[in-house]
Amino acid sequence: MSLQVAVSAGPALVARRVPDAAAPVDRFVPQAAPDPTAEAWELVHAAQDGDTEAFGRLYDRYVEVVFRYVLFRLGDRDLAEDVTSETFLRALRRITSVSYQGRDVGAWFVTIARNLVLDHVKSSRFRLEIITDEVIEGGSAAFTGAQQRPQVGPEQQVLNRATQAELFRCIASLGEDQRECIVLRFLQGLSVAETAEIMNRNEGAIKALQHRAVRRLAQLLPTGLR
């Protein structure tokens, strides 16, 4: 309830309405942008309750991330497709076992894919080969800086691709742990915490490994590309 207060206005007294202190005040409250991590975990919880459509949306959200990771590690498109499919089959079977730990659920899918890749490497005579064109087109811009480049002519595009191809060849020559760290951190864009979870290391170890890997890449790259 508001009060009526008499206020002097020249020779007469007029009533002025004074807002009640307890009355709500209309104000603009900016809405926070949707949190993709929270949205993904909502889908996980729905899938855990038996919502198959929710798991399908998780598949749509993360299949490209998983496929690019596997393709880079194995270098064989058909094999990468098989491993990606197996990744999501395992994830579906184990969906009730995953719980929120403050990170994006994509790290969990990549962990499953990584274990499958390691199983394949251990069970066969395997040599890493990189399909440079497919990996570059599949989303390596976060590492190569392609997102910041303006449109360029065909000659510059050829030079850019040659530079990227050389970069990927240098990545392939890193040791297993350093290569894994570079792939997860820069090609996949995962955080230090997510990379640590996937590689079963603490965050300090990942930071040190990343530092050594970047320094090694700087040594491997031709002088003109450093």
pLDDT tens track for 1-15: 444 444 444 444 444
> Confidence band (pLDDT; 50, 70, 90) for 146?
very low
pLDDT at res. 42: 92
Which residues, in sequence order, are bridge partners of residue 14? 7
pLDDT at residue 132, rounded to an integer: 46
Highest mean pLDDT among 23-27, 132-136, 141-145, 188-192: 188-192
Could you tell me the two tokens for 149? 């480049």
pLDDT per residue as tens digits for the range 152-180: 565 555 555 666 677 778 888 888 888 88
Query: Chain-wide mean pLDDT for the chain?
Result: 74
d(CA 140, CA 160): 13
Per-residue pLDDT at 158 = 56
Say whether pLDDT at 109 is over 90: yes
For 56-98, the pLDDT digits (tens) are: 999 999 999 999 889 888 888 888 899 999 999 999 889 999 8
Q: What is the largest CA-CA distance in the chain?
A: 103
Q: What is the mean pLDDT of residues 99-108?
A: 85
| pLDDT tops 60 at residue 110 | yes
Alpha helices, DSSP H only, in 17-51?
36-48
| Assigned token pair, 86 | 């197996």
